[in-house]
């Protein structure tokens, strides 16, 4: 293998440990929930989900789950929903 590629792989491993280096600007994901599969989008700091609950509440479990998964890579201002800090084990 090319020695320069080996260096790139090592760097990639290091970068992968530092997700804060990455800022997600746009995302489109298919979320398999318990009651159906929904398209979830993120763009310009705003979430959107096609599930019914999001339509009526502006927030849903799919969006909140993705926020948790991607938290280090989302802009800090988007994480204001501080109601989820309790160790919820419901």
What DSSP state is assigned to residue 88? Answer: -
- Cα–Cα distance between 84 and 67 in angstroms, integer? 11
62 counts as binding Zn ion under rule CB under 5 A? yes
Of the pair 19, 61, the CB lying nearest Zn ion is at 61
Of the pair 19, 53, the CB lying nearest Zn ion is at 53
CB of 71 to Zn ion, least distance (A): 18
66 counts as binding Zn ion under rule CB under 5 A? no
54 counts as binding Zn ion under rule CB under 5 A? yes
CB of 28 to Zn ion, least distance (A): 14
Considering CB under 5 A, how many residues would be counted as binding Zn ion?
A: 6
What are the C-alpha distances in Å from 88 to residues 8, 66, 80, 83, 85?
Answer: 40, 16, 17, 10, 8
In angstroms, how far is CA 71 from the centroid of its own chain? Answer: 6
**Which residues form the interface with Zn ion (CB under 5 A)?**
38, 49, 51, 54, 60, 62
């Amino acid at each position: 293998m090319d020695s320069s590629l080996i260096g790139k792989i090592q760097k990639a491993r290091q970068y992968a440990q530092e997700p804060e280096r990455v800022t997600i600007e746009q995302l489109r994901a298919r979320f398999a929930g318990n009651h159906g599969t929904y398209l979830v989008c993120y763009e310009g700091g705003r979430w959107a989900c096609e599930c019914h609950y999001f339509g009526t509440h502006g927030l849903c479990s799919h969006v909140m789950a993705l926020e948790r998964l991607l938290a280090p890579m989302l802009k800090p201002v988007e994480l204001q929903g501080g109601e989820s800090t309790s160790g919820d084990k419901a």
